[in-house]
Structure 1
Amino acid sequence: MAKFVLAGKTDCPYYAKAELLADTLQQCLPDFKIHKISILPDEWKEWLGATCEKNNWKHEGSPLVWRELVEQGGKGMLLGGFNDFLEHCQDYYGITSDMTTNVMLSVAAENLEAKMNLIKEEQHRASLIQPLHVWITGALNPTCQVLIPSLLSPEVFPNVSAISLHLLDLEGNEEQLQSLRLEIEELAISMLHQVTTGTDLERAFRKADVILLLDDGGHDGENEGEEVKKKKVKVISERYKEYGQRIDATAKETVKVIVSGDSFLNLRCSLLVDSARSIDSHQFIAAAAQLENEAKAVLGKKMRMRPSDITDVIVWGNISGTFYIDLQRAKVFNHDGPITGPAFFSQPLLSIFPDRKWLETDFQHLVRTRRLAVTSKTGQVAATSAANGILTVLKAWNGATDPDVLSSGVACPGHYSLPDGIVFSVPLTFTDGKWSVVSELTVENELKYRLELSASELQQVKLNQ
């Protein structure tokens, strides 16, 4: 089989002549196949250069004709331009072209008009699609690469048919972002409408429906000096104030903003709330789900059960600082003990775990150091658990799941006597795309003291930024 590829400028008369000659051959010869590529005039030079470079060819002008050797795996063999194609047709098939110049020009004009009409139709179809705009900052963070395949899913965004994904990384370079864009496109996910990239704030957060902020300045090391911490706080504060201003100016009023990472979660979220004054503070969440899941993993190991069978663990306070894991509402399912029941049967964790001293001491310490231990061993952030934490929040917020309690950092002055001006991790419930603070919890003197300690720490961090 002879398979030829004919490419040319849409308005090129010689492309039109070669096209009609190829059509004649295809009609007369059953084993002759032609594939046509019509390129707009202002895009031709770039396309030709890229194609020749890829195939190690040298060619100028329009059209460009090559033969694909199907029996050799589709490898292309350059034929040349119109005269080369015409000579090949005369020599091998005894067919020539007698098209006049006027006809050539007429067909070329028709080709251009048809191409423009096709582009208009495609643009019109695209305009009918109303994609959900999802922005991710710190897009070169490993968490982003783990997150994206699961993010573009009806399980996370029910009732959404298309998503426009916008990748932003102020510290990255465009080449790295373009490589990431190509990888995402190659996933061939049906919900993905388009992917854009950027390394500056000029167009950031335009029409944003969802914003996921992953850039945090790195993990808070316990051995870091005060000066290093102050510098980190200053840099991250300036960035998040800018983010907040851009969100205020360009994002939708209903935007959902989730802050994730290892450092300064509460502070970063608080700065966004302060800077995006026209956006309701209920649209901002600092994700504590990763910390919740880490606590469940520690408990699961101690109790010899699956972490997924432990629910309603509460994280209070400063997610990446002084926090407290509260188990007063925690439940366990499928516990191997004297009292058992069906899969939906649960028991209060505190009623079957007698070692209260361990829960108040070693348990809290293990949760606090677990993530640092993982990153110390691998030399990388705990990307998988971070991504899972973000997805947990999104699913609850979008109504895809209905957890009884999900801890998150939010601005909630007045609840549990918390002060204004800070973002504090508290237990939430989600209904119809909105969250509310769980209010019927017991706050005894010890827990009250811990809440005051965390609130004071957050106020102090904010004063120093």
Structure 2
Amino acid sequence: MPYFVINGEPHCPNYAHALVVAQYLSEKLPNFIYKKVEMNGVQWAEYVHDLNKQNRWYIARGPIVWKEINMWGGKKYLIGGLSEFWEYVYCYYGLESIIPRADLQKLASDNLKFYEEHHQHSAQRQKEKDVRNITIYGPGSFENNFLLSELVDVPNLSKSRGVHFKLFNQHCAQSEKHRELLEDNAEYINELRKFGAHDIATIAKDERDAVEDCDVFIYLENCTKQSDEDEDTWLDRCYKKMLQLADTINRVAKRTLLIILANPGPTCFMATCLVDTCTKIKLSNIVAVSAHKGLPYVRLVSEKTGVPACKMSAPPVWGFVGLHCFVDSRNIVFKADMLRPYERALRAPPGSTLALGTIKSELRKISYMLTTEEDELAREVENRKTTIEMRLERPTMIGNIRALVSLIRLWFAPKRSDEIICLGVCSDHSFQIPAGVVFSQPVMLDEKGKWTPYSKFPLMSDDTRKHIEESIEVSNRVLDKFNIFKAKEEDTLQYKLYDYSVEQGG
């Protein structure tokens, strides 16, 4: 079966005439298949020159028609220009086509208009592909400015034409104040003109616009418990928010969308709701920021032990963050400077100027220096947090944003890092955590860019295991109440996490 290729300039009447005839034949004859190749100006001249050189043809003007036997991309059998194409069509199909000159000019004009619109649309789509689209959902004024100024400086986050932020707050439709705040945020960051003339930040019209064409979706909406709510009412409100968001994601989101929940509230519960209801995206792309829970402990432990905070690692954060979590402050690792003495140190006279040894650095656990009970540390951290929030009259967000930016730096780094961080991810039954539940635990980034639980992380004590079990019990109780997949039915959850991901191409 022959495949026909019709080449020409979009403004050429003869080319437009050949396309009309080819379209008519393809509609009437199932075995007549064609495609068109159209170029303008210098591109067309260079294209014709290359065709003549490759095939030893001698064609000066279009249209140019050839056929390929059995498959596209095969050997070209030249038919010729428009006259030769008419002769071929008449001999094989008995078709004659006579179109007045005025109609031909109109056909050529319409074809040129379609070509220009298609070319413009293709160019626009290419520009969009060269820009990283990031949506920030539900930001406040101060947090937004701080986060945007941090993100624009993250290496490798932007593509060749930079990065574009969409700001969205669902209260904008009802509140002019929220709308003005977002406009101020966008104006602030656009003044930087970080990536050239185009705006860095715009305001999304609605939730669909916020999700569509998005590469990274950052959820910052305040979902803390209100004073007049009980736990069931609070969680039901959060659950409904996630159902609505999941519906939008399933309809318009990219398959590769990354979702990061860094909001105040039951983040692991909300992320688990998305894992249960999002069918379009990879489940491993849904994570909940949790490392910020350990940051206040670093400062407090530094005050109590005298070890500078800059020499300490963040403590492991375990649990169903937002409802029950445990910060393992005794498992903080710090860099200690140790004196390794020479033998002469035992017999050197007082005032000797000779070196008595060398100083070596090694990593140690802070537990042997920390005398304060963990419950007392947790109370002090909570009291400080409460005092700060009373003065600010809002939840503290600096820690969330710091942890969020650090996560994005690692995720988009050119080389995979072997750094271990704490993050809420879909569990794979490591540490006896039910598979499929989004649970804060030590994780590493694998070769495919997926955050996976680091099962070799040492659990320091039975007390740590007890706290992890308490968090598991809380997650089981809450998920069962909302009829989200049963955390105790391991086989079902293993299917949910693995088989379902394989079916979806994950």
Bin for the TM-score computed over the shorter chain: 0.5 to 0.7
SS at match of 1:253: coil
Query: Where does residue 184 of structure 1 map in the other structure?
Result: 189
Query: Where does residue 131 of structure 2 map in the other structure?
Result: 131
1:379 partner amino acid? E
* Distance across 2 between alignment mates of 1:394 and 1:429: 13
**Higher deviation after alignment, 186-195 or 167-176:** 186-195
Deviations 1:12-62 (A, max 9, x none): xxxxxxxxxxxxxxxxxxxxxxxxxxxxxxxxxxxxxxxxxxxxxxxxxxx
Query: Where does residue 454 of structure 2 map in the other structure?
Result: 438
Residue number among 201, 206, 220 corresponding to 1:200 in the alignment = 206
Residue number among 402, 411, 418 corresponding to 2:426 in the alignment = 411
How much does 1:393 deviate?
Answer: 1.1
Deviations 1:119-176 (A, max 9, x none): x989948844610110110033532221011111243627664111111100134343
Change (3 A) 1:296 1:402: farther
Number of residue pairs matched? 340
CA contact under 8 A between 1:133 and 1:166: conserved in structure 2? yes
Query: Where does residue 238 of structure 2 map in the other structure?
Result: 236
Query: Where does residue 155 of structure 1 map in the other structure?
Result: 155
* Distance across 1 between alignment mates of 2:396 and 2:403: 11
How much does 1:371 deviate?
Answer: 2.9
Deviations 1:336-361 (A, max 9, x none): 77789999933312365152xx2422
List 4+ stretches of structure 1 deviating above 6 A. 120-123, 336-344
* Distance across 2 between alignment mates of 1:185 and 1:343: 50
Query: Where does residue 403 of structure 2 map in the other structure?
Result: 389
How much does 1:215 deviate?
Answer: 0.7
Change (3 A) 1:193 1:202: same
How much does 1:257 deviate?
Answer: 1.1
* Distance across 2 between alignment mates of 1:411 and 1:342: 46
SS at match of 1:202: helix
Query: Where does residue 426 of structure 1 map in the other structure?
Result: 441
1:35-54 equivalent positions in 2, closer than 5 A: none
Query: Where does residue 325 of structure 1 map in the other structure?
Result: 327
Residue number among 344, 348, 355 corresponding to 2:364 in the alignment = 348
Alignment of 1:210 with 2:216, yes or no, is yes
CA contact under 8 A between 1:331 and 1:346: conserved in structure 2? no
Alignment of 1:449 with 2:451, yes or no, is no
Deviations 1:226-278 (A, max 9, x none): x4333322222111111122223222222221101221111111111112122
CA contact under 8 A between 2:421 and 2:442: conserved in structure 1? yes
CA contact under 8 A between 1:169 and 1:199: conserved in structure 2? no
* Distance across 1 between alignment mates of 2:258 and 2:209: 18
SS at match of 2:230: helix
* Distance across 2 between alignment mates of 1:266 and 1:323: 10
CA contact under 8 A between 1:209 and 1:252: conserved in structure 2? yes
| Unmatched segments (≥5 aa) in structure 2 | 1-115, 342-356, 483-506
Deviations 1:439-465 (A, max 9, x none): 113445432221121011123233445
Residue number among 304, 307, 312 corresponding to 2:306 in the alignment = 304
* Distance across 2 between alignment mates of 1:457 and 1:339: 48
Q: Which has the higher contact order (CA 8 A, sep 6+)?
A: 1
Change (3 A) 1:373 1:429: farther
Query: Where does residue 13 of structure 2 map in the other structure?
Result: none
* Distance across 1 between alignment mates of 2:193 and 2:121: 19
Question: What is the TM-score when the length of structure 1 is the normalising length?
Answer: 0.65
Query: Where does residue 14 of structure 1 map in the other structure?
Result: none
How much does 1:284 deviate?
Answer: 0.9
1:52-91 equivalent positions in 2, closer than 5 A: none
CA contact under 8 A between 1:240 and 1:272: conserved in structure 2? yes
Change (3 A) 1:171 1:228: farther
Query: Where does residue 168 of structure 1 map in the other structure?
Result: 168
* Distance across 1 between alignment mates of 2:481 and 2:205: 28
Query: Where does residue 275 of structure 1 map in the other structure?
Result: 277
1:281 partner amino acid? L
Question: What is the TM-score when the length of structure 2 is the normalising length?
Answer: 0.60
* Distance across 1 between alignment mates of 2:120 and 2:360: 53
CA contact under 8 A between 1:314 and 1:427: conserved in structure 2? yes
CA contact under 8 A between 2:272 and 2:437: conserved in structure 1? yes
Change (3 A) 1:160 1:407: farther
* Distance across 2 between alignment mates of 1:260 and 1:282: 16
SS at match of 2:209: coil
SS at match of 1:436: strand
Change (3 A) 1:135 1:398: same
* Distance across 1 between alignment mates of 2:444 and 2:158: 19
2:165 partner amino acid? L
How much does 1:329 deviate?
Answer: 5.0
